[in-house]
């Protein structure tokens, strides 16, 4: 059996919190000249979002570009919650994380994300304050699956190779971690992830 993990790194979206850009697209479209489908294409895994989530542009420029490209008429103070209020907790994963913390396991977040999303999650979900550190693409100017962000994660966590367990729902984001000999879990359901952690030495 592999050694028990010394640190567990979680992806955020679709692992700890669910999200749906269609919620944001509908709100933005209601104040724009574009359909919800057109807005979603612009903000969901798009070149514009990539620029924002790798720190190439800030939230004000992101807002200006959305206004320019959709005809959005709301103020930035309206836009920010309309863009970021798209998340809901995945309760079994929150409970898992609480159990890990109770057991003294260091935990971290590694996420492709942006400051509007992080700000909303931090204000809304108490669990989010209880990690040892956070590696965000928009702060590090690099996004998974680029190798650079995994190097940064090792430096920030103080762990490497098999001492790290990494949980992510996207196989392409797990592959670079596996190349660094991290223990990886392809998250498909909370039950499956909890079971996989037990095989790696963690018992609730």
pLDDT tens figures, 42-83: 999 899 999 999 999 999 999 999 999 999 999 999 999 999
Residue in the block written with tokens 């994963």? 93
22: Cα within 13 Å, side-chain hemisphere: 3
Q: Compute the distance between CA of residue 110 and CA of residue 131 in angstroms, rounded to an integer.
A: 11
- Report the pLDDT value the prediction gives residue 4, as an integer from 0 to 100: 72
Token pair, residue 110, equals 């590694």
Q: For the chain, what is the mean pLDDT?
A: 96
Opening angle at CA 127, ends 125 and 132, nearest 5:
130
pLDDT tops 50 at residue 1: no
pLDDT in tens, 82-110: 999 999 999 999 999 999 999 999 999 99
Going by the DSSP 8-state scheme, the letter that residue 129 receives in this structure is G
My answer on whether omega of the bond before 145 falls inside 30° of 0, hence cis, is yes
pLDDT in tens, 4-52: 789 999 999 999 999 999 999 999 999 999 999 999 999 998 999 999 9
pTM check: above 0.85: yes
Per-residue pLDDT averaged across 134-143, rounded? 98
Q: Compute the distance between CA of residue 14 and CA of residue 20 in angstroms, rounded to an integer.
A: 10
Residue 71 has phi, psi (to 5 degrees) of 80, 20
Going by the DSSP 8-state scheme, the letter that residue 32 receives in this structure is S
pLDDT tops 60 at residue 2: no
């Amino acid at each position: 059996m592999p050694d028990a993990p010394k640190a567990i790194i979680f992806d955020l979206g679709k692992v700890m919190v669910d999200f749906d850009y269609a919620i944001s697209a509908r709100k933005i479209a209601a104040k724009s000249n574009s359909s919800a489908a057109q807005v979603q294409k612009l903000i969901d895994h798009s070149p514009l979002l990539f620029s924002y989530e790798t720190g190439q542009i800030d939230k004000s420029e992101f807002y200006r570009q959305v206004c320019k490209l959709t005809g959005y008429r709301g103020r930035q103070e309206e836009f920010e919650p309309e863009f970021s209020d798209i998340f809901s907790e995945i309760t079994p994963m929150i409970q898992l994380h609480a159990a890990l913390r109770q057991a003294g396991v260091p935990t971290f977040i590694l996420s492709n994300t942006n400051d509007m999303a992080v700000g909303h999650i931090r204000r809304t979900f108490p669990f989010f304050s209880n990690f040892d550190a956070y590696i965000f693409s928009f702060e590090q100017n690099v996004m998974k699956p680029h190798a650079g962000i995994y190097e940064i994660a090792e430096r920030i966590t103080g762990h490497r190779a098999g001492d790290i367990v990494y949980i992510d729902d996207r196989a392409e984001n797990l592959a670079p971690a596996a190349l660094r000999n991290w223990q990886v879990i392809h998250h498909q359901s909370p039950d499956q992830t909890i079971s996989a952690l037990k095989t790696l030495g963690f018992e609730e």
